[in-house]
Structure 1
């Protein structure tokens, strides 16, 4: 957007300033998660992770008109839609994960960036309440704690914003297997008001919002997420066909609408930065974009709440952390020959290495007390006489051995010797420009035992059962409609 507009004269510059003034932003994070940005690949690239938030705010006349529930006017909004968008380091694939709004997670201690108010940690609240406990920054920190994935930015939109963006796009195709009318029934009050005949329909404006909000007619929140993914995939296909990124007039209309509709984290709080961000996704092929929902089960304390299925969720989080594509449509990565690797210097004698062991087992759960001391003793027994436990904690998902970046190949060799002694994979050895020396962080993936057991390496497209994956290239998907809400399209 900035490239197109700044190429014009003074009027263009004034319009650019106007768009910048439209943008609302606040702090990226609401608290400390301890999660660090992924290390760059061989080309110096890192993945890009963006948290997308849909707010249920009724604190404007437009939102009340569109969203109902007038009894919540004045309440702090909740994050009823939450999706993590992951763009691979090489920008050749993109993966998205939704979490149903009623999923019970640990919401960490947070501070609201706008009001300065602090909120205590809670372990028995649904994830949508994270927005009420410190704003979008707290929702981001909650996701980092849950996933171990560093999140670069957040973007938030409310009901009125969705309608405005849907109108600006000009309509998106969606599909239902039977006619649908999401309305109040004798047993269940409420409903989005969505009313569509069987087959494919083009929705925009308020109808688009109704589609995105429909829950009862699609059965539950998980299926609502699937319908949202269908809409987003269709929207991406529509924008590609319209060539929106190279049509100046179209782009200006979208930019005007988007800068008014969206609230963003501070680091992307300008037109140029939002434009640069959109370019990161623009060239990802449609068949390399996959949208999913985290598998969940009923919470034992309340059947109307959900909890993540831990094994399945961890599998998906690991794929995001390891930058493994959710689809199988990419080219297999070329395998490098071990003989091609430079030998490097030999590691120093174990007894001479000054090594600090840090307890990182507390990410998203209660730390395992004494874990740093336990592993330090194991290392002492293997000849690392100077290994000692730190009193500080650094919660993280995966166990790593950090060495100071300025120590170069020698630091890497020394760290690799520590990893080998404990059974850690080579990928656990990482340079850290902030590391003061050799540091082992025992992560949440190694809470027990004295020899590390590496999890199975994730493979592209290896998603767990229940992930409900939809590829953006799939135009043949239609939503099932719960029997109570089926509509004959006015034929009867």
Structure 2
């Protein structure tokens, strides 16, 4: 039948939209693909089908590469199929993740799901003919954080309807996309130059150094979903994702646990109407449940032992990916998969960025980062704190020398020591410009008068005799040190240390002439910036954390979609 994964379902499910409700079916809250509300049955609702499985494809790609160590030699020839794009097109570049005290380095990988319709395969899978010539959107964005000691993994999803400020992005050909003057929906970042601008937007918002990205379309998803051999998922009630006017994914499942694969798995992963409150937030939670369950299945059963089948699946996955230059070889992807494979499912935590519905005019149904709790989640990733509250493993015994670094992809199989840190110049030789940014980003307060001069004088007393008050100002909520070139990184870090600022306050930027100290709203008075609050030790409940070992997770069903 149509709702049960048949050929008719494929026609109506893969090409058909997960569209708007009508009649007595409760309309969901949430934003459209671009402007306007998600309510109703217009083109924005038909586009819901295209956000489904790019994240699934990316994780499957990694799992397939990791599970298939025996088939490694079979797909070396795929090197020529790997597509690459620039890692970061923005002005702010934080550099790579920093080693911990034991010389181990965490990894942050941004997984981007593109809805591009740039070839026949993707057009056939997703339909939506009205978007074939349109700019691609980053409708799935998930940051995967692998801890420095490889004991745990965190995934942070950002809802596609999140509103934020877009950074300035400059493409390799010189095309400039100016910074937005107002809030823009996060999925539009991809159309501002490519995945490097999506990375830049995440960097601006979270201050997390992103080491790699993987951008995925969905033409290889169907064959990979079948290869899993079935994934158990759970619903609290009978569910049928079909509105009265025939829209929806068509998913039809009885209450309880069902083993799904193939077309039915596709339906599960793209279902919005029928799960929770009918928004993309519920769909994200369903995807988290599916991926955790899939990871457990891979651990329990060696399903991909056929080298020929593995090769075809790996080829489908790789041809569907665009990666940054740091992942441009099969051996680098293989090394990355081996690093990811070290984490047991019980130490994988899936989360969604804490959010609130926007109350701004014209943004009905859109969301914004939840003040405080979203930053808490980002800070935990920045500081390599496990989201599950279990802490890290024991990387080295007390008193021992630093452990070898689990190095970046491409050399992950080789133990390497962390590179020696650059030596900063003496404070008296470090030129510093001090800018008054005490009004904050929202401009709600006037800048503290004369603050740049006061802080420049304070720095001179600490030996930074070349510190001068700049006539240019800024707008920062927290005090930050920015520097222009790699040679200035150690000096900028020394300045931050002298002031008691955290390492995360030091940023590389193309918009400053040298080392610039922006005195933020948090330091309007006094001789020292306020000490940061202790970091959280567990993800906030508003992040909806889901542990990889939780095989009891079950999706709540939206009223009006039961049978």
TM-score range with shorter-chain normalisation? 0.7 to 0.9
Deviation at 1:49, TM superposition (A): 0.6
In the alignment, which residue of structure 2 is the partner of 1:35?
Answer: 94
Q: After TM superposition, list the pairs within 5 Å mapping 1:370-389 onto structure 2.
A: 375-380=455-460, 384-389=464-469
Contact 1:357 / 1:375 at 8 angstroms: preserved in 2?
A: no
Q: After TM superposition, list the pairs within 5 Å mapping 1:159-238 onto structure 2.
A: 159-185=218-244, 190-218=247-275, 219=277, 220-238=279-297
Aligned to 2:381, the other structure's residue is in SS state: helix
1:347-368 residue CA offsets vs partner (Å, 9 max, x unmatched): 9998x56452566979x95899
Greater share of strand: 1
In the alignment, which residue of structure 1 is the partner of 2:365?
Answer: 304
CA distance in 1, matches of 2:469, 2:519: 14
Residues 419/110 of structure 1: CA separation in 2 closer, same or farther (3 Å cut): closer
In the alignment, which residue of structure 1 is the partner of 2:179?
Answer: 121
1:73-120 residue CA offsets vs partner (Å, 9 max, x unmatched): 22112111110000011111110101111110111122345x764322
Deviation at 1:20, TM superposition (A): 1.7
TM-score w.r.t. length of structure 1? 0.79
Residues 77/397 of structure 1: CA separation in 2 closer, same or farther (3 Å cut): farther
Deviation at 1:61, TM superposition (A): 4.2
Deviation at 1:444, TM superposition (A): 6.4
Residues 225/384 of structure 1: CA separation in 2 closer, same or farther (3 Å cut): same
Aligned to 1:486, the other structure's residue is in SS state: coil
In the alignment, which residue of structure 2 is the partner of 1:78?
Answer: 137
CA distance in 1, matches of 2:161, 2:487: 46
- Of the candidates 524, 540, 550, which is equivalent to residue 464 of structure 1? 540
Contact 2:456 / 2:468 at 8 angstroms: preserved in 1?
A: yes
In the alignment, which residue of structure 2 is the partner of 1:319?
Answer: 380
Aligned to 2:560, the other structure's residue is in SS state: helix
CA distance in 1, matches of 2:132, 2:542: 36
- Of the candidates 538, 549, 554, which is equivalent to residue 478 of structure 1? 554
Contact 2:114 / 2:217 at 8 angstroms: preserved in 1?
A: yes
Contact 2:82 / 2:321 at 8 angstroms: preserved in 1?
A: yes
Residues 244/281 of structure 1: CA separation in 2 closer, same or farther (3 Å cut): farther
Aligned to 1:159, the other structure's residue is in SS state: coil
Residues 383/49 of structure 1: CA separation in 2 closer, same or farther (3 Å cut): closer
Residues 485/459 of structure 1: CA separation in 2 closer, same or farther (3 Å cut): same
Residues 71/281 of structure 1: CA separation in 2 closer, same or farther (3 Å cut): same
Deviation at 1:5, TM superposition (A): 5.5
Deviation at 1:397, TM superposition (A): 7.4
Contact 1:361 / 1:447 at 8 angstroms: preserved in 2?
A: no
Deviation at 1:207, TM superposition (A): 2.5
CA distance in 2, matches of 1:172, 1:443: 52
Contact 1:361 / 1:446 at 8 angstroms: preserved in 2?
A: no
- Of the candidates 526, 532, 542, which is equivalent to residue 455 of structure 1? 532
CA distance in 1, matches of 2:302, 2:327: 24
Residues 164/395 of structure 1: CA separation in 2 closer, same or farther (3 Å cut): farther
Residues 331/307 of structure 1: CA separation in 2 closer, same or farther (3 Å cut): closer
Residues 443/167 of structure 1: CA separation in 2 closer, same or farther (3 Å cut): farther
In the alignment, which residue of structure 1 is the partner of 2:31?
Answer: none
Contact 1:178 / 1:481 at 8 angstroms: preserved in 2?
A: yes
Gaps of 5+ in 1: 339-346, 433-437, 488-492
Residues 216/429 of structure 1: CA separation in 2 closer, same or farther (3 Å cut): closer
Contact 2:456 / 2:467 at 8 angstroms: preserved in 1?
A: yes
CA distance in 1, matches of 2:212, 2:475: 22
**Cα RMSD (Å):** 4.2
Deviation at 1:125, TM superposition (A): 1.4
CA distance in 1, matches of 2:231, 2:378: 30
Q: After TM superposition, list the pairs within 5 Å mapping 1:248-327 onto structure 2.
A: 248=307, 251-299=310-358, 300-301=360-361, 302-327=363-388
Residues 360/481 of structure 1: CA separation in 2 closer, same or farther (3 Å cut): farther
Contact 2:152 / 2:392 at 8 angstroms: preserved in 1?
A: no
